[in-house]
Amino acid sequence: MTSTTPEIEALAADIGEQVAIDVAKWNLFLAEAHLHIPLAERVYPLLEKDELSRSAVEAVLKDLSVVIGGGKVSLSLLDVLPNAMVDRLITLLEDYRSKSF
């Protein structure tokens, strides 16, 4: 896992404010769920290596677990993100890549 750098922190802040999981039609932004930094740490290497693609992002989302119910259930982040939020994340990452790389 990549150590947190100012670049990753900036990316995490954008992700945390703009991407939300859906819980019973209630949006929980990733910053509030404390998932924005782990996600940024995992997608940043895709940007560095110029390997950003929908399938690569979805693989990262599938690999990142969201623990709910006090640890009773663990779901992948991909399972709790609506498709519109996956699209938003990919657009955010494409925009970040065009500005930063």
> What are 73-95's pLDDT values in tens digits?
999 999 999 999 999 999 999 99
- In this predicted model, what pLDDT tens digit does every residue of 37-72 receive, in sequence order? 999 999 999 999 999 999 999 999 999 999 999 999
Partners of 22 in beta bridges: 27
User: Distance from first CA to last CA of the chain, Å, rounded?
Assistant: 20
Instruction: Determine if the pTM surpasses 0.85.
Output: yes
